[in-house]
């Protein structure tokens, strides 16, 4: 099934579907973990696509292709790589805020409150009129109809949603809008002469990537590019909330600098970085960066030949285009948690999330795939390029692969063996301590992926590009 998914994925980026036969795929197929959705096959296909695109860049440099391989079990484990972090041999907590979760509403429906970030938590508590207390939140949600609560929290600049079935979502105007889009768009947005890759010994050596994304999907894209030699600089703001362990997980290979994009001087600093960059990756809602002179078209004027990678929650079309969202919100509103809960009940009744952050990590891999394809096009035909995707498009793509028959879902192990995790892991020396984490998944015959830099604290570096890596 993974090869079939890859065969359908490649033409979206203009690659011949016959190339799906090239990678070596091992480790079996779904079900790999307890879910009816084909997350293992999808992750195998997405990472194989990245491998092929990286191999194409290597061929552009050297005239040689590489052999690509992906193990399905490792690929699936990578969809929750944050779970396998260790700092100085001790586990790293991935616990969510206690009030974040799914609650029964007055009308017999379920409501999900996304409360990991303090601003979103404050928005939900202000709507409910209670303090951050699980019992008080449960009682307050029980006084609301689920749809009314969804709209009230969104209006308050929070995040969450009413649990829908897959059939209900299929009839929703936002689902209809998303259905008009491909999984991934790679669009030429400006003219520029063909541009050779910088000199270097790895597929993406010397390619500079600015990472203005947060949480998991976007940072995973930049981490994946760093695996193959790209110089990546994550840009965040000291005033922005963050979830610490996620920065350990997605920070491999990156420089890390703070800029406050509310300040004009910092916008000008960012413009200076863009002029020396190749890829600009951002995860803000549509139109947000345009108000600060950072739209795709504006940055392509500043740096002709730029590859601009754009991520949002619900796509750039439809009534929810400007809505805040996360992997768990997309799962909630699109029927995934409803179906997961039907087949795999949790400790508490109600809808359940995937046992991995499939939408987030898959989106990151697909963003990296699109960026590599756009960079290769830039070497051949020039131009500035926009790579555009959303969490909801990836959620739809994942569901479109169909579900595993219920008869095949008996006795599926919920965890990989300790021996497997140990064999897939490595240790990096970081400013925070000895960080144990999963190693890159993709196998390449000439340039095995690796991170040249360890994870570092947010804002650890100055916002200045060093010499390009070789």
Q: How far apart are CA 43 and CA 74, in angstroms?
A: 9
Q: How far apart are CA 433 and CA 342, in angstroms?
A: 42
Q: Which two tokens stand for residue 368?
A: 């990296």
Q: Nearest Cα to 39, choosing from 344, 355, 416?
A: 355
Looking at residue 240, its pLDDT comes to 83
Q: Nearest Cα to 232, choosing from 367, 327, 117?
A: 367
Looking at residue 94, its pLDDT comes to 77
CA–chain centroid gap for 349, Å, is: 28
Looking at residue 290, its pLDDT comes to 66
Q: Which two tokens stand for residue 261?
A: 């994009």
**CB-based contact 160:114 (threshold 8 Å):** yes
Q: Nearest Cα to 353, choosing from 365, 363, 364, 343?
A: 343
Query: Side-chain half-sphere of 230: how many Cα atoms within 13 Å?
Result: 27
Q: What is the dihedral of CA 455, 456, 457, 461, to 10 degrees?
A: -140
Mean pLDDT in order along the chain per 10 residues (470 residues): 97 96 97 98 98 98 97 98 94 84 96 91 95 95 97 95 97 97 97 96 98 94 98 93 83 97 94 98 83 90 98 96 93 97 90 96 98 98 98 97 95 96 97 96 98 95 95
- Strand order from edge to edge, sheet including 160-162: 101-104, 110-113, 160-162
Q: What is the DSSP annotation of 6-32?
A: HHHHGGGGT--GGGGGSSEEES--S-S
In this structure, what are the phi and psi dihedrals at residue 87, rounded to the nearest 5 degrees? -115, 115
Looking at residue 95, its pLDDT comes to 78
In CATH, which superfamily holds the domain spanning 22-93+178-316+355-444? Crotonobetainyl-coa:carnitine coa-transferase; domain 1 (3.40.50.10540)
Q: How far apart are CA 379 and CA 93, in angstroms?
A: 43
Looking at residue 242, its pLDDT comes to 77
Beta bridge partners of residue 235, listed in sequence order:
257
Q: How far apart are CA 288 and CA 296, in angstroms?
A: 12
3-state helix, strand, coil in the chain (%, to 5): 40, 15, 40
- Which runs of E-coded beta strand occur in 266-409? 279-282, 307-312, 384-390
């Amino acid at each position: 099934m993974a090869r079939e998914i890859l065969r359908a994925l490649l033409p979206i980026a203009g690659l011949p579907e016959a190339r799906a036969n090239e990678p070596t795929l091992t480790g079996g197929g779904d079900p790999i973990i307890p879910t009816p959705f084909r997350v293992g096959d999808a992750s195998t296909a997405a990472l194989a696509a990245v491998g092929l695109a990286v191999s194409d860049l290597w061929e552009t440099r050297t005239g040689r292709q590489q052999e690509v391989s992906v193990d399905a079990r490792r690929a699936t484990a990578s969809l929750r790589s944050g779970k396998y972090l260790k700092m100085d041999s001790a586990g790293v907590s991935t616990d969510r805020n206690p009030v974040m979760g799914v609650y029964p509403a007055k009308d017999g429906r379920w409501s999900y409150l996304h409360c990991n970030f303090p601003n979103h938590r404050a928005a939900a508590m202000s709507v409910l009129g209670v303090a951050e207390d699980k019992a008080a939140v449960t009682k307050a949600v029980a006084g609301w109809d689920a749809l009314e609560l969804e709209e009230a929290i969104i209006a308050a600049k929070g995040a969450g949603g009413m649990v829908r079935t897959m059939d209900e979502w299929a009839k929703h105007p936002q689902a209809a809008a998303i259905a008009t889009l491909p999984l991934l768009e790679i669009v030429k947005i400006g003219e520029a002469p063909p541009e050779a890759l910088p000199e270097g010994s790895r597929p993406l050596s010397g390619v500079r990537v600015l990472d203005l994304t947060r949480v998991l999907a976007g940072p995973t894209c930049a981490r994946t590019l760093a695996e193959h030699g790209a110089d990546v600089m994550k840009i965040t703001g000291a005033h922005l909330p963050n979830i610490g362990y996620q920065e350990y997980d997605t920070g491999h290979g990156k420089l890390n600098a703070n800029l406050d994009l509310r300040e004009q001087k910092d916008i000008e600093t960012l413009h200076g970085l863009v002029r020396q960059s190749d890829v600009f990756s951002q995860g803000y809602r549509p139109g947000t960066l345009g108000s600060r002179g950072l739209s795709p078209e504006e940055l392509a004027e500043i740096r002709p030949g730029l590859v601009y990678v754009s991520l949002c929650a619900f796509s750039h079309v439809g009534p929810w285009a400007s809505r805040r969202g996360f992997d768990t919100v997309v799962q909630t509103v699109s029927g995934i948690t409803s179906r997961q809960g039907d087949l795999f009940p949790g400790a508490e009744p109600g809808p359940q999330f995937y046992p991995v952050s499939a939408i987030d990590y898959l989106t990151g891999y697909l963003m990296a795939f699109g960026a590599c394809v756009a960079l290769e096009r830039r070497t051949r035909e020039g131009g500035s390029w926009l790579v555009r995707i959303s969490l909801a498009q990836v959620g739809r793509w994942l569901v479109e692969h169909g579900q595993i028959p219920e008869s095949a879902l008996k006795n599926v192990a919920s965890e990989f063996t300790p021996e497997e995790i140990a064999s897939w892991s490595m240790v990096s020396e970081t400013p925070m301590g000895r960080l144990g984490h999963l190693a890159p998944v993709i196998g390449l015959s000439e340039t095995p992926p690796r991170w040249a830099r360890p994870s570092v604290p947010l804002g650890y570096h100055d916002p200045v590009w060093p010499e390009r890596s070789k």
